[in-house]
Structure 1
Amino acid sequence: MNEHLVRIKKLAIAVLSIILMTYGCASLVMSQVMFQTFYRRGSPELQSKLNMTKKAFISLLICILNFVSPSSIRISTDNATLAKGTFRKSNGKIISQMKRRSIIIANHQIYTDWVFLWWLTSTADLAGSIYIMLKKSLESIPLLGYGMRNFKFIFLSRKWAQDKIILHNSLGVIDANSRGVGPLSGARPIRVDDDGEMYWDVNKTDDSKAWPYCLLLFPEGTNLSATTRRKSASFAEKVGRQPFSHVLLPHSTGLRSSLILLRASVEVVYDITIGYSGVGRSDYGEMMYRLPNIFLRGQTPKLVDMHIRAFNLAEIPVDDEEAFSQWLYEVWKEKDDLMEKYYTDGTFASDPELNQIVVGGFNISPKPVLVTCLLPAVLVFSLLLVGYLAYAWLT
């Protein structure tokens, strides 16, 4: 009988979660439409409102995940590259002092890695300033695709001839806005090439009009699985590299291009190694923590580990393609070693002198989602009320 009740409870939670997710996404899209109706296109006011819907989306997702099955976060930082106190606890929550213009790179284990990394930006109140590189096919998802286009997420087809212009223009605008001389400040590109590539003045800045950003990308290109491990090993043999045991071989083109395009503004590259409780050395996280398992079975990692270190652009050989490829390979080799330690010891941290550890809940303020989800409801109610009063007056 108890087992029957547990199943009913899980089913009820799953159904309610799906309803909340659907309503929440529909409300966010309606809010975006409202904002685009009432605010001038390309204006800072509109961008602020759209950034609020970014915060609302991750707030909605995290609130639902905590409702399904709560998780905790353990962050360890490299004291040699990040000052102690960069991540700390305050009033029971993890907060941070992440830089206002940064790139995050990470290993890719499960489809929802980006959720935890997006949460990380919220610790520095940057959840509305994140930009994620995604597969082009995700742009076609009903509701979510439209919402993500308004988030200015970057959709790539993995065909460099097509992606080159998209990446150039998208990151060019982000860079210019972050220096206060982009379209959000009313400025125009200094030139546009015949192929449509836009160029902005990299020598100008106006901090009073600057917008922060955090660009998230996964150099591996896909998450770790039996199939992608085989493909990665074949790719490693093709390029004369030694394959890794716990991560995939990274691709350097996208990251190097991003660093070159953002070099006028980017302050730091955060290198994050992520691991999940319950995933063993021979397991694949993407099989354990698939979306159906999360929402229908409440199967989420109880503890998410992130090891964070930082690189300044001056440390990265961006201008030399071969040297950059070798640098990225070495970074991923160290990441593979960290994963080996994680599977052996259950943690990334080793020495308090070398690492600082902060543990807290996977939580976020629900305020953004409450505001944006209530706006469409208030508008619909107001329209119905006006319609009823007009009908009553006419009859």
Structure 2
Amino acid sequence: MNHRTRMDWMFLWNCLMRYSYLRLEKICLKSSLKSVPGFGWAMQAAAYIFIHRRWKDDKSHFENMLDYFCDIHEPLQLLIFPEGTDFTENSKAKSNEFAEKNGLEKYEYVLHPRTTGFTFVVECLKKGKNLDAIHDITVAYPHNIPQTEKHLLNGNFPKEIHFHINRYALETLPDSKEELQVWCHKRWEEKEKRLRMFYEGSNNFEFTGKSMIPPCKSELRVQIIKWMSIFYWTCFTPAMSILLYFYSIVRWYFCITVVFFVLQERIFGGLEVIELACYRFLWKRPSVDDQKKD
């Protein structure tokens, strides 16, 4: 998926809720987000893949997490942003500088993708027989673009979000790493053309081309989930405030939970790291026969 704003991953939930299964999604995202109280801890518990955006530091953890998902046969939807960061004037300038050095076309609506992580993910999942298809997603905002969390806090939500999705089955993908890199770059060339037509064309409220996605699930189901979520989170905050004020046991529970999440991250690196270590200790230990063979 192209990374137009820092909030793209969250806006994609609307699409996944209608066409896929939101509960299966994992996201590859920067490691600093795991320390954010609340949702950062929840993403740790969901075993998201946190990276430092330095390949020499990320490769081993990336491989361990992907191997873990393949070993447990987890139905996996892994969201990655090959651009590496969201689209801003600063990141665009760096992308254009990279394009100039390498004799590539300068883009106006996307950044040049970094293919090292992308090809590594594809190869690991293919090796673990846990890759069914790649969904190439292009996102566009026709009216206002909320670039950061601050925009949302100020009430600057997008009026519309457009997604263009193409599904590429496993058997249609290139085999070699070099061909996969070229394949990824071609998808970004298509994104640039598609977004240029979207923003600059005479009809900028529709993507051109044929989108290959399954039919939408029941809109009634979507509306029920939406209103249940609104009701739950509207009640949750005042309810927790009341419980914290009146009951000491709730205050103790709250304090212990906060201390636990802060300490486990500083000592072990996060819940997803603990989960991976427990799996290796309980299920991946070499047997006695294997040790004798060694």
TM-score by length of 1: 0.53
Partner of 2:192: 336
CA distance in 2, matches of 1:125, 1:328: 23
Q: Return the alpha-carbon distance in structure 1 between the equivalents of residues 208 and 37 of structure 2.
A: 45
Task: State how far apart, in whole Å, the 2-side matches of 1:224 and 1:295 are.
Answer: 20
2: CA distance, partners of 1:336 / 1:256: 21
Q: Does 1:152 align with 2:35?
A: no
* Residue 326, structure 1, aligned to residue 182, structure 2: yes
Q: Does 1:291 align with 2:149?
A: yes
Deviation at 1:129, TM superposition (A): 1.4
Other-structure match for 1:278: 143
CA distance in 1, matches of 2:7, 2:119: 24
Aligned residues: 237
Decide which structure has greater helix share: 2
Retained in 2: the 8 A contact 1:233–1:243? yes
Evaluate the alpha carbon distance shift between residue 366 and residue 254 of structure 1 in structure 2; reply closer, same or farther with a 3 A threshold: farther
**Matching residue of 1:346:** 204
Instruction: Report the counterpart of residue 6 of structure 2 in structure 1.
Output: 111
Instruction: Tell me which of the two structures has the higher relative contact order, counting C-alpha pairs closer than 8 angstroms and 6 or more residues apart.
Output: 1
State whether structure 2 residue 138 is matched by structure 1 residue 243: no
Aligned-partner Cα distance in 2 for 1:254–1:320 = 14
Match of 1:169 among 49, 60, 64: 64
Q: Say whether 1:260 aligns with 2:155.
A: no
Tell me if 1:302 matches 2:159: yes
**2:12 aligns to what SS in structure 1?**
helix
2:35 is equivalent to residue 140 of structure 1: yes
Q: Distance in 2 between matches of 1:215 and 1:356?
A: 19
Q: 1:386 to 1:150 in 2, by over 3 A?
A: closer
Gaps of 5+ in 2: 251-294
The match for 2:15 is 120
The residue type equivalent to 1:306 in the other structure is F
**Which of the residues 269, 272, 285 maps onto 2:134?**
269
What is the aligned-residue identity percentage? 28
User: What SS is found at the alignment partner of 1:271?
Assistant: strand
SS at match of 2:113: coil
Using structure 2 for the length normalisation, give the TM-score: 0.70
Q: Structure 1 residue 289: deviation in Å?
A: 4.2
Question: CA 1:385 to 1:217, structure 2 compared with 1: closer, same or farther past 3 Å?
Answer: closer
**How big is the shift at 1:267?**
1.1
Measure, in 2, the Cα distance between the counterparts of 1:274 and 1:120: 11
Q: Is the 8 A contact 2:31 2:50 kept in 1?
A: yes
Matched-pair contact (CA < 8 Å) for 1:269–1:310: yes
Say if 2:166 and 2:212, in contact at 8 Å, map to a contact too.
no
Cα deviations by residue, 1:298-356 (Å, 9 ceiling, x for unpaired)? 22111111111111122222x423222211111100110100110112134446xx458
Q: Could you tell me how far 1:373 is from its partner in structure 2?
A: 4.7
CA 1:333–1:125 in structure 2 vs 1: closer, same or farther (change >3 Å)? Answer: closer
For 1:373 and 1:113, the matched residues in 2 are separated by 25
- Provide the secondary structure at the position in 2 that maps to 1:262: helix
Counterpart check, 1:316 vs 2:183:
no
RMSD of Structure 2 on Structure 1 (CA): 3.3
Paired residue for 2:77, among 201, 208, 214?
214
Higher strand share: 1
What is the CA-CA distance between 1:119 and the residue it aligns to? Answer: 2.7
CA distance in 2, matches of 1:350, 1:262: 31
Aligned partner of residue 219 in structure 1, secondary structure:
coil
Label 1:295 to 1:260 Cα distance change in 2 as closer, same or farther (>3 A). Answer: same
Q: Which stretches in structure 1 are left out of the alignment for 5+ residues?
A: 1-105, 179-210, 280-284, 388-395
